[in-house]
Amino acid sequence: MTSRDIPLAEAGGLLTIDLSALAANYQELARRVAPAACAAVVKGDAYGIGLATAATTLWQAGARSFFVALLSEGRALRDLLPDAEIFVLNGLFPGTETAYQDHDLRPVLGSAPEIERWQHFCERIGEARPAALHVDTGMNRLGLTPAEAVHVAEGRDELGFPLSLLMSHLACADEPDHPLNARQLEDFRAIAALFPGVRASLSNSAGALGDPAYHFDLVRPGIAVYGGRPRADVAPLRPVVRLELRIARIRHVHEGETVGYGGAHTAIRPSRVAILSAGYADGIPRLAGASDLCPGAEAVVAGHRCPLIGRISMDLLAVDITDIAEDAVRPGDFATLLGDGLTLDNLARHSRTIDYEILTSLGRRYHRRSA
């Protein structure tokens, strides 16, 4: 059973994906980076919102180039978008060459052995299939060293397949003043100059929302498309995800009693507590919880912001609703964790994590719907 099939009446939470906001965010980014082209990064099940809904919406909004992390994601995307240009970021794993051909996917090659294997494969099938080249300029994760890239440029005539993209990845784009940005830009410029006629791509969302010098021919935003906040100095685009959690139970707690595991919350007054039917097994970070010493995240109940109290359990969490009129809320109602003014950015900060991790952890037990 996929979460789409979980009936609302049974679900502990309701996850609503705003497809018009998703399309608007993509188009806003495309407008801001023009004349550079704007791809869409849809790895990780489109950052947790669902590949099928995201990909078709983004295609309709005008996206033509897509990035995924893994071959399996590329294959699923190809089934949805027969005419898209699809790049697979994590490299060419041995033995997967034929699958790239079968599904018309472009591997992002980032090491000499990967390049060699693609060369041999193209030779064997008698077809020069395009691939992208990844050059590392400071991330030290994937990609050729600049020296290796120079070597490839020098031997480009004998490469045996066309390069459809040259890319690198920024390590600190969310900190515009970090000196590594300028260094990566300079190195990437120098390398791109060695590959005339090949499209160049350096920027993720944070880079796309900043200095146009970083845009080159194609930008690769992910998180900004999904309403996350890639950098503190730029407001996020429209929220795409709304998360509401069901109130399973409302109970009275006497002054001095504790709530939840570890007795981490002590009631300092006679309290009313709403127990919501979702927890860390649904992707709500345990660190979003609270203790007597440290406040946690908030939920909106009957239009009012209320604090989460105590530790978050696997399937439940507690909210203090003492200040809400007794007849305003009943078991079965929903409390909002994302939406009604509660942002992804805010929940992430309370949980000492980032928007990306909140989105990609969104649970499989919610009733999901698109709006």
Ligand X SMILES: *Cc1c(COP(=O)(O)O)cnc(C)c1O
Please report, as ranges, the residues that interact with ligand X according to CB under 6 A: 41, 43, 89, 169, 204-206, 220-224, 230
Q: Identify whether 214 is a catalytic site residue.
A: no
Q: Is there a contact between 143 and 136 (Cβ–Cβ < 8 Å)?
A: yes
Of 19 and 224, the one with the shorter C-beta distance to ligand X is 224
Q: What is the DSSP string of 105-145?
A: -EEEE-SHHHHHHHHHHHHHHT----EEEEB-SS--SSSB-
CA 151 to chain CA mean position, Å: 34
Of 230 and 260, the one with the shorter C-beta distance to ligand X is 230
Q: Which of 26, 43, 100, 226 is catalytic?
A: 43
Of 47 and 366, the one with the shorter C-beta distance to ligand X is 47
- Whole-number minimum distance, CB 169 to ligand X, in Å? 4
Q: Which of 214, 226, 261, 280 is catalytic?
A: 261
Question: Can you tell me which residue has the tokens 């997967």?
Answer: 96
Which residue type sits at 37?
A: A
Closest-by-Cβ residue to ligand X is: 222
* DSSP-derived pairing of the beta strands 265-266 and 258-259: antiparallel
141 is in an annotated binding site: yes
Beta-carbon contacts of 61 under 8 Å, excluding residues fewer than 6 positions away, are 22, 23, 24, 26, 27
CA dihedral 106, 111, 115, 118 (to 10 degrees): -50
What span, in angstroms and rounded, lies between the C-alpha atoms of 238 and 32? 15
DSSP class of residue 323 equals T
Of 66 and 334, the one with the shorter C-beta distance to ligand X is 66
- Whole-number minimum distance, CB 68 to ligand X, in Å? 10
Q: Identify whether 226 is a catalytic site residue.
A: no
Catalytic residue IDs: 43, 261
Q: From the annotation, which residues make up the binding site? A: 141, 314
Per the annotation, binding residues for substrate are 141, 314
